[in-house]
Amino acid sequence: MRRNAQRLRLNRGPARGRLRSPAGGETQVENYPEAKRSAFPEIQTIPTRWNDNDIYGHMNNVVYAEYFDTAVNRWLIGSGALDVPGGPIVGLVAETRCKFLSSVGFPDILETGLSALHVGNSSVIYGLGLFHAGAETPAALCRYVHVYVDAAGRRPTPIPESLRRALTALDPGFAPRTPARG
């Protein structure tokens, strides 16, 4: 009983993760982006479809994941920084989390916001928000982790400089760095 109480205390407060910073120390990274439109440098419009709704009359939970995956990959292709699907580097989804804040469904027109929460040596944590068109607060927030691997062997590989440069558009405070050699 005591351990469970301690565990519950540890899990209170904002959800955070710890990552190694480029300087070698630990850095705090929010699990979700901030819940406002201005937290997302990239906004994409996406219409809902009739089959997105479930029996309860709102968009089925699994469809949110499809929308977030589409937004990340649309941005990657549009930025020209990654040759999807024929290039030597592939982004594999290692983790996704979604926080549902309000209902959406057909025939809504939605907007997906995209940001870079953290850029590591071989991974990127994207933050996404799903908004009703023109809304200031999101209907859902997402944490989406891509690990970049070589296409042939599927082993983690450093993020190419072209992608690092493109990621600056998703976080004005992000300064591209050369990955550590080793």
Alpha helices (H) in 80-177, listed in sequence order: 161-167
| 175 is a domain residue | no
Distance of CA 177 to the CA centre of its chain: 20
pTM passes above 0.75: yes
Q: Does residue 120 register a pLDDT over 50?
A: yes
| 156 is a domain residue | yes
pLDDT for the residue 28 = 43
In whole angstroms, what is the distance from residue 34 CA to residue 36 CA? 6
Section 158-174 average pLDDT: 84
Counting every residue written for the chain, the total comes to 182
Most confident of 7-21, 102-116, 166-180: 102-116
| 178 is a domain residue | no
Categorize the per-residue pLDDT at 6 as very low, low, confident or very high, splitting at 50, 70 and 90: very low
CB neighbours of residue 10 within 10 Å:
8
| 177 is a domain residue | no
| Residue 80 one-letter amino acid | G
| 117 is a domain residue | yes
- Number of domains into which the chain is organized: 1
The sign of the dihedral angle between the CA atoms of 151, 155, 158, 163 is positive
Q: Does residue 21 register a pLDDT over 60?
A: no
Q: Which domain holds residue 90?
A: 2-170
In whole angstroms, what is the distance from residue 28 CA to residue 152 CA? 33
| 41 is a domain residue | yes
Give ∠ CA 43-67-156 in degrees, rounded to 5. 95
3-state secondary structure of 143: strand
| 43 is a domain residue | yes
Q: Does residue 109 register a pLDDT over 90?
A: yes
| 62 is a domain residue | yes
CATH code, domain carrying 32: 3.10.129.10
